[in-house]
A and B are shown apart, each in its own frame.
Chain A
């Protein structure tokens, strides 16, 4: 019983001596927003790089090419952009796991939803011409 008391007492004494205070609510709010912002940034950049890859393959390199060639598409793949998309998708997944409650979603579901939303945004970027602009910028 004496020992039990002492841990509590020691803790209270340490709180007193080191003037420990609970961290402010805003600190945790900031951390939470930080992860969600990182999540949306990863989403944005994953979609953009996927959009550029899509644009390069289907609207640039394969433009006017006999569609049979698609069977052997590997020489036409923009590996840099595909790699970048994969990196951002991985970061997206890791950041999502760091958000409050992110761990509750099954890994496969989180991955599938991530890919789905990035895919949707990718088409939006391609249609809006953003992928073309980014590709042109980096081609220069």
Chain B
């Protein structure tokens, strides 16, 4: 068994190879993605913490079973996010529930980057925007919600989003553009109502 320091220096791909030889290494791979996946699953499902735990366990089991299917042309993170995404959707279907609104916390850096990207007025109240983001995203159509979450909350680029959602990059770009337009419209409407 390698030392913790050596394991930390390994890439995800290298850890996958190690896991295929010794399953004990899988713990380290799970540790790398536990936080991110929990946050992502909660955001897309708006589910309860217990449900998220169940989904995560299923995701980790599925990832382990399919380790030999991991395509090295992809980033490991895209692959595991894809599995988590599909597993969450399957879970929601199983319990016959649509993804609901979930009020998530957003840090100031993300809010600022979103503000710049959406070309919002400089004077636009940052606090107000932070408060509205999760409400507006949560209320959007799933196809828009998922691209916005992946782009702004998970910091994924177009290619990664395309790999996670298994959609062509052009389609992702179109969806993201439409999602941004809708989001901007909603946020401006909200600010006018105040």
Instruction: Please list the residues of chain A having a beta carbon within 8 angstroms of any beta carbon in chain B.
Output: 3-4, 6-8, 10-12, 14-15, 20-25, 27-28, 100-101, 103-107
CA distance A11 to B171 in the complex (A): 35
B88 within 8 A of A: no
Told that A3-B53, A11-B57, A22-B20 touch, could you supply 12 new A-B pairs with CB distance under 8 A?
A7-B60, A8-B30, A8-B60, A11-B26, A11-B61, A12-B27, A15-B26, A23-B68, A24-B68, A104-B169, A106-B170, A107-B168
Instruction: Please list the residues of chain B having a beta carbon within 8 angstroms of any beta carbon in chain A.
Output: 19-20, 23, 26-27, 30-31, 34-35, 53, 56-57, 60-61, 64-69, 71, 73, 162, 166-171
Whether the pair A22, B34 counts as a contact (CB closer than 8 A) is no
Whether the pair B27, A103 counts as a contact (CB closer than 8 A) is no
Chain A positions within 8 Å of B167 at CB level: 103
Residue of A7, A12, A15, A105 near B168 (CB, 8 A) is A105
CA distance A70 to B80 in the complex (A): 56
Q: Count A/B pairs, Cβ under 8 Å.
A: 68
Chain B positions within 8 Å of A11 at CB level: 26, 30, 57, 60-61, 64
Chain A positions within 8 Å of B66 at CB level: 22-23, 28
Chain A positions within 8 Å of B170 at CB level: 106
Whether the pair B61, A20 counts as a contact (CB closer than 8 A) is yes
Chain A positions within 8 Å of B30 at CB level: 7-8, 11
Chain B nearest CB from A39 CB (Å) reads 17
